[in-house]
Amino acid sequence: MLINSSSKTYTLDEYRALEETAEFKSEYHDGAIIPMSGGTINHNRIVRNLIRILDTALRQQPYEVFSSDLRLWVPPHRKGLYPDVMVIAGEPVLNEQRTDEILNPCLIVEVLSKSTSGYDRGDKFLYYRSIPQFQEYLLVSQSEYFIEHYVKTGENQWLLREYRGSDTQIELSSVGVTIVIRDLYEGVNFELPE
């Protein structure tokens, strides 16, 4: 979740210096620092499950799974973002040789909340689409068995598939992994409020 911050403008170096010692993560939006709030129990369960599934499936393959602790730099939009989960094919491309900023995910996953779903589907997806290596985007609901799955099919073309129900399978073409939705939602309690 993003929280509005002051109207002060920061340089990228000022932001990075603040982020290195900050107790909480913040996104960088071309001079603005936008604090992020924490996730819910269900949000964290979904992220944990997905990382476990992907990490196991991609062992000894040329892919690496990263959590939201690693910042994604999106140069055309001057954004420093923290996707919930990213997968990189091959070696991470570091921004300015920084080990806390990468440039090249092929798969990005965001777990939706009421406060961020519009941003994740809209502007954030627009920013992500400017990344040349980016091929696949999952938007995972934490309140029901529902996933929106975008796959790049050509220049400026994306195919949307929607998945509902716990027994449905998702084919992640960018990494060659199949996920059963039930496994992704293991331990999630839909009775809990967001």
Rounded percentage of the chain residues whose pLDDT exceeds 70: 97
Position 7 pLDDT exceeds 90? no
Question: Average pLDDT in the 38-57 region?
Answer: 94
Q: How far is 94 from 161, CA to CA, in rounded Å?
A: 31
For 154, list phi and psi in degrees, rounded to 5: 180, 180
Q: Across residues 153-172, what is the average pLDDT? A: 95
At residue 4, does pLDDT exceed 50? Answer: no
pLDDT at residue 92 in the model: 96
Q: Are strands 71-74 and 146-154 parallel, antiparallel or unpaired?
A: unpaired
Confidence of residue 114 (pLDDT cuts 50, 70, 90): confident
Q: Which residue has the higher pLDDT, 45 or 5?
A: 45
Judge whether residue 84 has pLDDT over 50: yes
Using CA atoms, how far apart are residues 42 and 48, in angstroms rounded to an integer? 10
With 50 as the cut, is the pLDDT of residue 70 above it?
yes
Is residue 79 exposed (0-12), middle (13-18) or buried (19+ Cβ within 10 Å)? Answer: buried
Q: What is the pTM of this model?
A: 0.92
Specify the CATH superfamily of domain 39-184.
Answer: tt1808, chain A (3.90.1570.10)
d(CA 158, CA 149): 10
**pLDDT of 99 above 90:** yes
- 86 DSSP β-pair partners: 66, 108
Strand ranges in the chain using DSSP code E only, listed in sequence order: 26-29, 32-35, 63-67, 71-74, 79-81, 85-89, 101-102, 105-112, 136-141, 146-154, 157-164, 169-172, 177-180
Residues 169 and 102: their CA atoms lie apart, in Å, by 29
Banded model confidence at residue 38, pLDDT cuts 50, 70, 90 = confident
Q: Please say if the pLDDT value at position 36 is more than 60.
A: yes
> What are the residue boundaries of the structural domains of the chain, listed by start?
39-184
Q: How far apart are CA 148 and CA 110, in angstroms?
A: 10
The pLDDT value given to residue 6: 55
Residue 26 has pLDDT above 50, yes or no: yes
